[in-house]
Amino acid sequence: MRRLFLLLTLLALIGFVFQIQPTNGQTGSQLLQEFTINDSNLTKYPSVAGYNQTVYIGSGVSTNNTVSITDAMIWSMNEQATSVGSRFSIGVAKGQANFASVALATGNDGVVFAAWSSIDERRIWMSRRDPITGVWSSRREVASAAFPIFPQIAVSGNNQAFIIWQGVGTSLSLKIWNQSTNSFAGPYTTTQETYSSPPSISINASGQVGIGFTTKDLQAAVAIWNGSGFSTEILTGTVSAADVGVTVDTNGKFYAAWRSIGPGFYYAERQAPNSWSIVKFANGSGQGTANVIADAGGTIHLGWISDVSGALRGYYTYRQSGQSSFVTAVTANTTVLFNSRLAVSSGGAYAHFVAENFSVSPQKILYARFRGGTPQVTATPKIAGGTETIKGDTSVSVNFENPQGSPVSMIWRWNAAPTEAVNDSGGWQSFATTKTINVPSAVLTAASCTNPSTLYVQFRNASQVTGLVVSDSVIFDTDVTAFVVMTNPYTHDRPSTFTPLAAQLGDFSSDGGASDGHPSYTREQQIFIGMQGVNECSGLKTFAIGRTSTSFGEPMTITNNTFSNVQPVPGTFPVGSNQVWIKLTDGVGNEKTYSTTVIYDPNIPSFSGGSFTATPKPDATIMTTLNFSNILINDDYPGRHFWGVWLANSRTNNPTNTALVWYPIEAPGTTNSFTIQNWSLLSGLKASDISTGTYYVFARVLDGAGNPVPESAIMVATVNLTELTYPKVHLPIVVR
């Protein structure tokens, strides 16, 4: 461990100056945006990847302000954003920051793969972001080893993930994950041992793979995958080198870049096996990976860190396809940078640079965006102006912003890339910056809050040059989805916390009735309404109460996707059965109606006879069994004409004492005689009232609306306790 730290420290101190030469006739690059990601504490070896107009950034991060990494984090943003979105942990990563790094790569269908090291676990892990759902998979073990570090990853067109890593003084290792079999092949290893410097990996659309690494004796090397193993080519001779970047273009040509240990930064193009043309760009000192990328149009992009200006800054340049020279390099403003990575988006129109920013403490990710080469034929689709969630209609308006390369026609398809044979546009259509696009019924049927619908679009110009497929996603909210309760305003089933109202109702329980009853009854012209959005994409917005399915009062606003309170019922409310309706509206304008039948019963029931006894439990005298016999009530409540009883305890025989605490309890069974088990004689009493002696239990019969019989009909049962015993709780025996 100490030896590896020493090697890394020495390597960081050795570098060179880089100075790109001016170009002949090419338009230079430009720094477009630069900022530090504030919630990326303790970053080391950050990574970046791009797909269409989305940029993903990955790094190990400490979330608890310690000196160790805790999580593999991902950030994402639009390629032209001025700030990054919220970070997202894709899994645990444990250990010292130098050895707990995250690597990212994207596929041509929008899939994103991440690989990361968790050195305290001695593991390399992988996670995959599904291009349709946007959900990251649980972390999956790639490999375990004595000291696995510096993972890198590339993704082929058939969703194979090529994951590489190294150890200390070991060969470089490769495993290949196959989506169709959901399994790994490998590991495969290089014949050369590696130096403790991060490698790089690249793959083109044809599946050709190149790996750049530093050999143990400090030589720049490129390992080319042949389908079953590596053919490794050494690019340097007597001059030591490190931090090798590699890329392979669409035609299968390999490119590499590295820094010399000593003056010089080098760029190489492979002419034939073991034959490379090598150019020294400039003298000076630099630090970290020499990043090189060949985009789909053949433009070569370079990104690196150099102290040519007197401090370590990030630099970027490109060479347009068909040109012989690179444009004049541009630089980021922030200094004290280490260990950069580079990615491009929109076919090379933008280059995205990330590095460790040691000008802040603890170090964080520095992000810089540069203008790249001439982009492909493209435009940025914005469904409904970029709205995240919209109503599930059969067509949608799409804006196509920032058109590049003079598009004249376009083709599209929902939830998959279009082809001329399979598309939803009826073939190529004329380009317009605003287009009304039909939404197939199958797309709406499959839509959900967690399953955004993606529109894939491709453009071409008058010369039939076709650009890359671009996309935008939207959530179609096709219906109001909510859990709705309309019930007795006094029932125990309602929540204890109500939604605050601008005009709160008064103390409607002052009528002397019980705080419970049958859910379908009420003794006042009021009803409890509870609503909660369930998988409701746009959220509940308003509701209105009515007496028919077509006539409603003024809508009330719903906040936080929920409502819970008692509301007055509009209109005439005769005694007996009444229909009550509510109309719910969600955030995008979907509507749904709900109804219930409420029985209005304000009448006091009359008592015709009955009695009850209270018998203490032998093993717990404070607990009693209440036996009710032949309870006769005159009321409209169906069946036995009563719902339950109101119970209270006292040490004096005064059932009309206003200090009594009454508890409504639903009567079990269906007959006029019933039993209530485990009634506590201490319910509602003060501690000073608890002693041996006489206890009185009062019972008052309730109808379905919670109306009690008159006070004159209160029944009394007497219990004499010579000792107080309590229920026992028996815990299991634990033997240690």
Place of tokens 């149009």: 297
595, pLDDT greater than 60: yes
In whole angstroms, how far apart are CA 351 and each of 157, 164, 302? 22, 24, 9
Backbone Cα Rg of the chain: 37
Average pLDDT, stretch 558-568?
92
Beta-bridge partner residues of 309: none
Closest CA to 145 of 115, 165, 127: 165
Q: Note whether 216 and 191 are within 8 A (CB).
A: no
Q: Note whether 431 and 371 are within 8 A (CB).
A: no
pLDDT averaged over the chain?
Answer: 89
For 642-725, strand residue ranges (E) read: 644-650, 663-666, 674-680, 693-702, 715-721
Q: pLDDT > 90: what percent of the chain?
A: 75
6, pLDDT greater than 90: no
Q: How far apart are CA 338 and CA 46, in angstroms?
A: 10
Q: Note whether 68 and 44 are within 8 A (CB).
A: no
Quick one: DSSP state of residue 8? H
Q: Note whether 687 and 600 are within 8 A (CB).
A: no
**Structure token digits, residue 153:** 């990853």
189, pLDDT greater than 80: yes
Question: What pLDDT is recorded for position 556?
Answer: 94
Q: How far apart are CA 418 and CA 67, in angstroms?
A: 48
Closest CA to 716 of 643, 606, 614: 614
Q: What contacts 24+ positions apart, CB below 8 Å, involve 179-187?
A: 184/142, 187/143
161, pLDDT greater than 90: yes
Q: In which band, very low, low, confident or very high, does the pLDDT at 465 lie, cut at 50, 70 and 90?
A: low
Specify the range with the lowest mean pLDDT, choosing from 100-109, 336-345, 399-408: 399-408
Average pLDDT, stretch 348-373?
93
Question: What pLDDT is recorded for position 224?
Answer: 97
The strand order across the sheet containing 183-193 reads 149-155, 160-166, 171-178, 183-193
CA dihedral 271, 273, 279, 284 (to 10 degrees): 160
pTM here is 0.54
Instruction: Give the helix/strand (H/E) hosting 4.
Output: helix 2-13
pLDDT tens, position by position, 27-79: 578 999 999 999 999 999 999 999 877 999 999 999 887 878 899 999 999 98
Query: How would you classify residue 471: left for phi > 0, otherwise alpha for psi between -120 and 50, otherwise beta?
Result: beta
Beta-bridge partner residues of 583: 544, 593
Average pLDDT, stretch 513-529?
92
Residue type, 581: W
Average pLDDT, stretch 643-660?
95
Q: How far apart are CA 404 and CA 128, in angstroms?
A: 31
Selected residue with higher pLDDT from 702 and 508 = 702
* Backbone phi, psi, residue 240, to 5°: -75, 150
Question: What pLDDT is recorded for position 706?
Answer: 94
* Cβ-based neighbours of 541, under 8 Å, separated by 6 or more: 557, 558, 585, 586, 587
Question: What pLDDT is recorded for position 403?
Answer: 87
Q: Note whether 360 and 370 are within 8 A (CB).
A: no
Query: How would you classify residue 65: left for phi > 0, otherwise alpha for psi between -120 and 50, otherwise beta?
Result: left
* Cβ-based neighbours of 243, under 8 Å, separated by 6 or more: 197, 198, 214, 258, 259, 288, 289, 290
Q: How far apart are CA 371 and CA 32, in angstroms?
A: 7
pLDDT tens, position by position, 425-441: 999 999 999 999 999 99
Handedness of CA 545, 546, 551, 553 (dihedral sign): negative
Strand 663-666, strand 330-331: pairing? unpaired
String of DSSP letters for 478-541: -S--EEEEEE-TT-TTS-SSPPP-SS----GGGGS--S---TTEESSSEEEEEEEESS-SS-EE
Q: Note whether 366 and 36 are within 8 A (CB).
A: yes
String of DSSP letters for 87-132: -EEEEEEEEEGGG--EEEEE-TTS-EEEEEEEGGGTEEEEEEE-TT
Handedness of CA 558, 561, 564, 567 (dihedral sign): positive
